Amino acid sequence: MAPVLLDRAFAHFITSGRLEVYYPDGDRRSYAGRPGPQAAMRLADAATARALLLDPALKVGEAYMAGTLCPVGCTLYELMHVLMRNVMERSPAGERVFSTLRYMARSWLQDNTRGRARRNVAHHYDLDSTLYRHFLDEDMQYSCGYFPTGHETLAEAQAAKKHHLAAKLHLHRPGMSVLDVGCGWGGLGLTLARDYGAHVTGITLSREQLHIAQNRARAAGLEGRARFELLDYRTVARQYDRIISVGMFEHVGVAHYPAFFAAMRRALRPDGVMVLHAIGRREGPGVTNPWIDRYIFPGGYSPAVSEVVGAVERTGLWLADCEIWRLHYARTIAHWRTRFAARRAQIARLYDERFCRMFEFYLVVSELAFRVQGHMNFQLTLSREIDALPLARDYMMTRGQRVESAA
What is the value of pTM for the model shown?
Answer: 0.93
Q: 222 with 199: CB under 8 angstroms?
A: no
pLDDT at position 406? 37
Q: 293 with 61: CB under 8 angstroms?
A: no
Give the CA angle between residues 300, 160, 180 to the nearest 5°: 45
Q: What is the DSSP string of 276-305?
A: EEEEEESSSS----HHHHHHT-TT----BH
Q: What is the DSSP string of 22-75?
A: E-TTS-EEEEE-EEEEEEEEEE-SHHHHHHHHH-HHHHHHHHHHHTSEEESSS-
What is the H or E stretch that residue 17 is in?
strand 16-22
Longest dimension (CA), the chain: 76
pLDDT at position 2? 56
Residue 270 makes CB contacts below 8 A (sequence gap 6+) with 384, 385
pLDDT at position 97? 64
> Strands 375-383, 318-325: parallel, antiparallel or unpaired by DSSP?
antiparallel
pLDDT at position 405? 40
d(CA 69, CA 6): 14
d(CA 212, CA 202): 12
d(CA 219, CA 197): 17
What is the H or E stretch that residue 356 is in?
helix 353-372
d(CA 127, CA 185): 13
d(CA 336, CA 140): 11
Distant-in-sequence contacts of 5-13, Cβ < 8 A, 24+ apart: 5/53, 6/49, 6/52, 6/53, 9/53, 9/92, 9/93, 9/94, 12/90, 13/86, 13/90, 13/92
At residue 191, what is the residue type?
A: T
Q: What is the DSSP string of 104-167?
A: HTHHHHT---HHHHHHHHHHHHTS-HHHHHHHS-TT---S----SSS---HHHHHHHHHHHHHH
d(CA 297, CA 200): 27
Q: 55 with 98: CB under 8 angstroms?
A: yes
DSSP label at 381? E
CB atoms under 10 Å from CB of 73, counted, come to 12
pLDDT at position 398? 65
* pLDDT tens sequence for the chain (407 residues): 557 889 999 999 999 999 999 999 999 999 999 999 999 999 999 999 999 988 899 999 999 999 999 999 999 999 999 999 998 876 666 566 666 767 666 777 778 889 999 999 999 999 999 999 999 999 999 999 999 999 999 999 999 999 999 999 999 999 999 999 999 999 999 999 999 999 999 999 999 999 999 999 999 999 999 999 999 999 999 999 999 999 999 999 999 999 999 999 999 999 999 999 999 999 899 999 999 999 999 999 999 999 999 999 999 999 999 999 999 999 999 999 999 999 999 999 999 999 999 999 999 999 999 999 999 999 999 999 999 999 998 998 865 455 444 32
d(CA 99, CA 95): 6
pLDDT at position 89? 76
Q: What is the DSSP string of 308-348?
A: HHHHHHHHT-EEEEEEEESSHHHHHHHHHHHHHHHTHHHHH
